[in-house]
Structure 1
Amino acid sequence: MRINRLLVSSSLCILGIASAPAMAQDFETDEEAGASGNVILVTDRRAYRGDFEPLETPNADQLITEDLLRDANAFDLSQALDLSASVARQNNFGGLWNSFSVRGFQGDINLPSGFLVNGFNAGRGFGGPRDLSGIEAVEILKGPRSALYGRGEPGGTVNLVTKRPNFETSGYVQFQAGSFDFYRGDVDLQTTLGDNVGVRVAGFYEDAGSFRETVETERFGIYPSITARLGEDTALTYELEYTEQDIPFDRGVVFDEDFGFSPRRTFTGEPGDGPIETEVLGHQLELQHDFSDNWSLLAGLGYRDTSLTGNASENNFRGRQTFFEDGQTISRFFRFRDFDSEYFVARAELAGQFDTGSLRHNLIFGADYDRFENSLFILRFRPAFFPAGTDVSTLDPEAYLLIDAFNPVYGQFPTPVPGPNTDREEVLEGFGVYIQDQIEITDRFQIRIGGRFDDFEQDLTNLRADPVTTITTNDDRFSPQVGAVYQIDDGFSLYASYGEGFRQQTGSDFEGNQFAPNITESFEFGVKADLSAYLDSVQGIVTLTAFQVDQSNILVNDDSPAATAAGFFSIDAGEARSRGIEFDANLAFDSGFNFFLSYAYTDADFQTSQPDADFGALIEAGDPLINSPDHQLSVLVSQDFDVSNVPVTIGGRMLHVGERLGFTGFDFFLPDYTIFGLFGEVEVADGFTIRGDIDNLFDETYYTNSFADVWVQPGAPTTARVSARFAF
């Protein structure tokens, strides 16, 4: 890790030296440059969006701005997504990746949740949790948008907007320290090279302990970007993403209905296993060209290489788990993992406006291609079953890797010698073409029609088979989308939309059969209000939405004896439906008061029964989807004011997550929780700010997500942090 870090840091130093002469210069703004006749940068346009005002879109999009991220002190994607009540945390694979559901539905359970970066598919892979150091904003694009996105998540899509050069000299340096030996530094610097090249470098380094005993993480990331103005109408942007993370594999705590949860402080892995090492190297190249005031082209390439390697001792499941017998001792198994992925994406999109008679058309036409290569290699050591009622003291401690949940002693046993478990390679290749036309029928009424055609191919190679076998499947499908928006006045609109989605699924069942594609149908309707149209003292949008999402061919983990003997597999659990209501508000008042609220009621359950899924348990129609709370509420408020001409901000935040299923096919529910936080900052000198944060103010014991009753992630106790930032 340190060698790669040295190489990247050296490149950063060279880049900084090259830009040093320019940092002392003063540069014109775009408006000033236009007035003086210099080159004007083309307007940056978001992918797949077109140029529409919020009241004109038939979707309930949500924007988590840089200011909101800072108020929440969010530096990880999961923390940012906690602000949206439509997004719920899912099993995060022992802390090694981001996993979430939107409107009750998650994506592939064996991969990180899919997300976009500047419109590029980039979420799959094994680079560890996504840090926000190089991120300017997070968009939650909810609802039936699949006619455009195609391979997004079933309930919606998350898009990360990266920090790019703004053709100015500015930046900040920040340092944080906090409870449990948390230390972190961030940097964001930008300048220009001449009149037509902008350079920006964001990055972070984090060395952190944890409330979990012996759990320590080390993370490093750097995200440079360069934008070149190739003319008055053309801009070319290149971005690099490089992150290394050393993270202990932490499956969390164990729950038993008689003994309750094991202590949240106890790490049940082995520090001697070492951390899991993850690495990601990504590139994006994007070209934007304006043909005229009405027509523009957005085209680009993306490449992302990720890896995940390391050992882990993990909590055993029922039938091998001693905690269910004595409420004191946790048994474990051992795995070695070596995962790799390569992800290539190419896309181009043409957007424009034209008239046919009295109708105004807002057209988006595009195509994309992606190729995802996924390699999984796993070795495993696992103890045998034992009968219920067994006296734990009669079991061989080394054979079951036993550890005391209340007084753990690590390093008691030598590292087990694991045997073969999974060895497979997979290539998913897809090509899509999409078109959308939003037609202005009148000044108040618009309709949206569109569709997407996808063609997929999947090659799955089982390297454990003798002889080695490769299965190839192909699929194609057209996914339509329609919507309508009616603006009652300048500040209020009604909308409705319908869309279908289609997504190829990775892996196969233990018999080698590949899975049918995931099919989604979504419908929503709602109202939006721009309060600035009615009140001079407030800016912001309020949205109320009702939705329904139907999904087929949902995968769950298959841990039946036959499947686990063959390796690491999933199984199709049938169909599910999600219905709900959402209310979102993001308001800024002239008084300096800021108010953000996101509430969601989500009723997500299976529509069919599956007798053989998930540990041989019966999933029945009406069973809820895992980690999907009925009620979720996020509130963040802040007040800006001056004390003796010194800028001050104080604020608070609250997150409520309702009760939710914690183990598919079983009657295990995670309890609801409500946590509060406070923050305040003072600009003690020009550009120099001191800030303090307290999270989980009342020391609530809570659990954020689970995969099963033996893999439950506990939330942190009361945590305090102090930060200092210098901005210029």
Structure 2
Amino acid sequence: MKEVSLCQKFRTVRSIVLLLLLAFHWTVFAQTNTLLVETTVKHYDENPAGVISGTVKTTDGMPATFVTVLLKEPNLSTYTDEQGAFLFSNLKEGFYTLEISMSGLKPQQRTVQLKKNETARLVIVLQEDAKQLSEVVVSASRRLNNKPVSAGKIDVNPMDLPQSLTVVGQGLIREQQAQRLGDVLKNVNGIYVTTTRGAVQESFGGRGYSFGSTNLFKNGARINSGAMPEMSSLERVEVLKGSTAVLYGQVAPGGIINMVTKQPKFAAGGEVSMRVGSYDLYKPAVDFYGPLSSSIAYRVNGTFESAGSFRDGVNSSRYYVNPSVLFKLRDRTEILAEGDYLFHRFTPDFGIGTLGGTKIADVPRNRFMGTSWQYNKTDQVTATATLKHNFNDAWKLNASFSYQQYKRDYYAVERVQAAANGDWTRPLGKILSDENYYTGQVNLIGKFTTASLEHNFLAGADADNDVITNNDFSFPAVSGLPAGSYDKINVLDPGKYVQRSDVPTATPIRKRVAPLDRVGFYAQDLIKLSSKFNVLAGLRWSYVQTAGIDSTNLLTGTKTKGKSRYDNAFSPRLGLVYKPFATTTFFVSYSNSFVVNTGQDVYGKAVPPSLVDQYEAGVKNEFWSGRVSANVTVYRILNNNLAQTAPYLPDGTPNNNSNIKMLSGQTKSDGVEVDLAGQPIRNLQVSAGYSYNFMRYTKTNTTIGSFKTGERLVNNPAHTANASAFYTFGNGLLKGFKAGVTVAYVGDRFAGWNTDVVSVNPVTYRSRIFPVEGFTTVDVSLGCSVKKLSVLAKVSNLTNALNYYVHENYSVNPISPTQVVATVAYKF
């Protein structure tokens, strides 16, 4: 009998599930989509608990989202969802006072009489229209606990969630004139750039772990981290720290980053801007939005960027466009179709390199070690369709489907590993890859009451299909140099050797196709036991098929079929929240997950998954009537089988293939995070954070290639910190003028490779680790707004600090020196 692949099975099951969901969707929709005009509604069950529900709108009838609604007695709070709706249930009869507020708006109060066994419904209209409210949101207070994250998949007050989260909004992204994602994440405590390997991408770390493509999302769907995302299109960046395996499956420990793009609006408007800066930076951008009809809205934003660099001979150009259309099918149903395209061509740059493998070369910051012809080109296309439907006040369905294509064409000399005297034989590297990635998810969300318990329930399913095609190349031989070499130079004395300038022919010799299929089913319930206690319980079952890599020898036509691997596991999650006051939350949580490891071991076998336990506890506080948030979180992450690049092959020769890995043993990551944010006085927005992390090997063995117990892992600073303050003058000659400062600190860390075992009798270690000092950058921003025109200016790295992002020991990229950037924008 012919074997049916997991992917084929999944497609069949997916079709059946989608048909059932659509049938259920339209059946319930037809039964429940009626306009509610009652002020009170009788319940015909035996539960005597009353309900207060309502909708908050703007003056032009649009829903007001993320507005805080406070029930003063018994001191409960929630916020409006994406439809502007809110709900309080399980209430006794009596009089209740609601306060509706948002930073930057005048609070409103409403008094409601709730009778036994009834539901009171309210419609509250703010004094602002949708466009005015949008402006308020952009400049709203940067509190920590006043906004949910869509990455959490449920509408829940962050104070009720046993997890740490951070949202960087559009206002701060604009004020800081962020160019890359790393600029935005300076504002997120404990998240930092680890490396910029070859200057072709930014890699991030948090809580001791690297965030790769499995941890980077756009609008809730994974994206390839090889393309540097465009910041001008973002509404916000969400960072959900801690365990996210129940919701997203095989993600690295530490958390996820979700970028949310700007959405269509029914209020017409837009912006045109021009950014210029040091080293020939030119970046015009446009953003248009508005209604196409009473039920269809659109948005299109795009930009072009051309830039040089403080590095000699390095430049880049990129094009980006992001269209989206929102269809309001009925009062309770909408479909959002969005996509974007990014083309980026730039010079790959492996920095200044190391001498002898353990010493950063002492050369000028601007010295470029590459060739004049090397290049890196990335094309990334994404398309997403999202369906949202509210069956009624309690139940809703969200479904989305996303497609991504990522292409990379790269050719360069690479890996700056010079001898102690500076001599370096430049190796060639060529990449031609194509990734096609499909993902879909369906989530059913319900808010309901059983007995005296309030539930915020989530059940869902997701599936991914990822196919990556890569090519191997050979290069012409050079007399006297190893295979794959280009020429020899000296990084300390560029005039010592004559450098080549021609472009050698790269001959494709092998094509490899690597498919990956994932399916997951999950359920989670946030149960409100009382006004003071919440319990969060969740469980996910994941199935992963890592298909064997099929390869074709392009010289002989010989085909080799790889052997597939199948992994599955349950991932539980449990959390407890205690709220002694509406302004204070204590929480603890535990989760277990598994991470599928790519590549193979030194004997050609698949690397088993890594098993991870995560423990977290913390306190969230709101002070001074919600003007300031202060949170403290502690955590422990145990990875029982951390996979890393194997240092040696079976014959003892060094391994330079990152796809050949080994399980290095148990690691333990302990840490604490302290966050502060808010508006302590009028017109002053502040945020600050400090993080300590101790990530080390705790259980290793003494076989050749193993690592040293107790040693801190490379690229993990013990201390990081961040702070920012922005003040807007509200009166006098300086009215509309804004000034701000942003400070980011990354502490001492190790680079290279961790100490490993080279002999077992007796046990002998080899140290390939070297220290990199910590550094602090200071950015100063100034701006002024007059009616529809605004001007922003920034001096980054004001003190001209010098430091490096180090990938292993061959990509040592200096941080940018002092630079100036300015943006002129006109809104209409």
Counterpart residue type for residue 751 of structure 2: G
Judged with a 3 Å threshold, the aligned counterparts in structure 2 of structure 1 residues 384 and 464 are, in CA distance, closer, same or farther, namely farther
Match of 1:414 in 2: 502
Q: Which of 493, 506, 525 matches 2:617?
A: 525
**Structure 1 CA distance for aligned equivalents of residues 550 and 703 of structure 2:** 23
Aligned counterpart, 2:744: 655
Give the direction of change, closer, same or farther, for the CA distance of 1:374–1:43 in structure 2 (3 Å limit): farther
Distance in 2 separating the partners of 1:384 and 1:290:
67
Q: What code does the residue aligned with 1:570 have? A: I
SS state at 1:84 partner = coil
Residue of structure 1 in register with 2:661 after alignment? 571
**1:100 lines up with 2:192 in the alignment:** no
2:797 is the counterpart of 1:696: yes
SS at match of 1:52: coil
Residues 190-589 of structure 1 correspond to what in structure 2 (within 5 A)?
A: 190-256=289-355, 260-273=361-374, 275-317=375-417, 321-322=418-419, 324=420, 326-327=421-422, 329-379=423-473, 400-405=487-492, 407=494, 412-416=500-504, 423-463=511-551, 467-531=559-623, 535-536=624-625, 539-558=627-646, 560=648, 569-572=659-662, 573-589=664-680
Query: Any conservation in 2 of the 1:252–1:268 contact (CA below 8 Å)?
Result: yes
2:807 to 704, 707, 713: 707
Residue 592 (structure 1) aligned with residue 696 (structure 2): no
State the SS of the aligned residue for 1:69: helix
1:720 and 2:720 are equivalent in the alignment: no
Match of 1:605 in 2: 696
- Give 1:607's aligned amino acid: T
- Residue identity matched to 2:569: R
Correspondent of 1:66 among 163, 170, 177: 170
Per-residue CA shift, 1:594-649, capped at 9, x if unaligned? 10112110111122336678xx6x52112222211100001111111044264010
In structure 2, what is the Cα distance between the partners aligned to 1:200 and 1:35? 17
Secondary structure, aligned partner of 2:230: coil
Q: Could you say which residue in structure 2 is the equivalent of 1:3? A: none
User: How has the CA–CA distance of structure 1 residues 700 and 296 changed in structure 2, closer, same or farther, with 3 Å as cutoff?
Assistant: same
Contact 1:426 1:507 in 2 (8 A): no
Cα gap change, 1:113 to 1:208, in 2 (>3 Å): farther
Choose 442-451 or 377-386, whichever is displaced more.
377-386
Separation (CA, whole Å) in 1 of partners of 2:783 and 2:57: 32
Q: Which has the larger Rg?
A: 2
- What is the identity, as a one-letter code, of the residue corresponding to 2:687? F
Q: Write out aligned runs for 1:75-94 (5 A).
A: 75-94=179-198
Counterpart Cα distance in 2 of 1:316 and 1:550: 34
1-structure distance, mates of 2:795, 2:550: 49
Deviation readout 1:575-599 (Å, 9 max, x if unpaired): 2111100011221244211101121
Q: In the alignment, residue 294 of structure 1 is paired with which amino acid?
A: A
* 8 Å Cα contact 1:41/1:233 also seen in 2: no
1:271 and 1:410 in contact (8 A); partners too: no
Q: Structure 1 unaligned runs (5+)? A: 1-28, 387-393
Q: In the TM superposition, what whole-angstrom CA distance separates every residue of 1:119-159 from its partner, at most 9, and x where no partner exists?
A: 22x22364x21111221111110012322221223111111
Deviation at 1:82, TM superposition (A): 2.2
Question: Structure 1 stretch 40-49 or stretch 61-70: which is displaced more?
Answer: 40-49
The Cα of 1:67 is off from its aligned counterpart by: 1.5
Equivalent of residue 677 in structure 1, options 767, 779, 787: 779
**What is the Cα deviation at residue 355 of structure 1?**
1.6
Change over 3 Å in CA distance of 1:35–1:459 after alignment to 2: closer
Change (3 A) 1:419 1:68: same
**Contact residue 220 and residue 258 of structure 2 kept, 8 A:** yes
| 8 Å CA contact 1:99, 1:113 repeated in 2 | no
Which SS does the other structure have where 2:195 is aligned? coil
1:135 aligns with 2:242: no
Query: Structure 2 vs 1, CA of residues 340 and 481 (structure 1 numbering), >3 Å: closer, same or farther?
Result: same
Shift of 1:699: 0.9
Question: CA separation in 2, counterparts of 1:467 and 1:378?
Answer: 14
Partner Cα separation in structure 2 for residue 564 and residue 115 of structure 1: 31
**How far 1:403 sits from its partner (Å)?**
4.6
CA distance in 1, matches of 2:773, 2:62: 61
Q: Assess if the C-alpha contact under 8 Å between 1:88 and 1:104 holds in 2.
A: no
Alpha carbons 2:435, 2:468 under 8 Å: kept: yes
Specify the alignment match of 2:66 in structure 1: none
Post-superposition Cα deviations, 1:519-570, rounded to whole Å, max 9, x if no partner, equal 2211110100012xxx24x624221000011123333234646788896523
RMSD value over aligned CA atoms?
A: 2.9
Distance in 2 of aligned mates of 1:205 and 1:88: 27
Q: How many residues align?
A: 669
* Distance in structure 1 (CA, Å) of the matches to 2:659 and 2:342: 29
Determine the C-alpha separation between the residues in 2 that align with 1:245 and 1:589.
Answer: 42
In 2, are the aligned partners of 1:355 and 1:361 still within 8 Å (CA)? yes
Q: 1:422 to 1:696 in 2, by over 3 A?
A: farther
Residue 247 (structure 2) aligned to one of 139, 142, 148: 148
CA contact (8 A) 2:475 2:507 kept: yes
Q: Is the Cα–Cα contact under 8 Å of residues 654 and 677 in structure 1 kept in the other structure?
A: yes
Q: Which has the higher contact order (CA 8 A, sep 6+)?
A: 1
How far the C-alpha of 1:436 sits from its partner, in A, is 0.6
How far apart are 1:502 and its partner, in Å? 2.1
* 2:216 paired with 1:115: yes
Q: Secondary structure at the match of 1:315?
A: coil
Q: Which amino acid aligns with 1:227?
A: L
Distance in structure 2 (CA, Å) of the matches to 1:718 and 1:566: 36
Mapped contact 1:255–1:262 kept (Cα < 8 A): no
Q: Is the 8 A contact 1:174 1:186 kept in 2?
A: yes
Task: Evaluate the alpha carbon distance shift between residue 560 and residue 306 of structure 1 in structure 2; reply closer, same or farther with a 3 A threshold.
Answer: same
Query: Residues 442-466 of structure 1, C-alpha deviation per residue, up to 9 Å, x if partnerless?
Result: 1111111111000110112242675
Give the whole-Å Cα distance in 2 for the aligned partners of 1:509 and 1:425.
Answer: 19
Q: Alpha-carbon deviation of 1:208?
A: 0.5
Aligned residue identity for 2:695 = A
SS of the residue aligned with 2:672? strand
Q: Give the match's secondary structure for 2:275.
A: strand
Measured in 1, the distance between the counterparts of 2:153 and 2:248 equals 10
Q: How far off its partner does 1:506 sit?
A: 2.3
**Residue 234 of structure 1, CA deviation:** 0.3
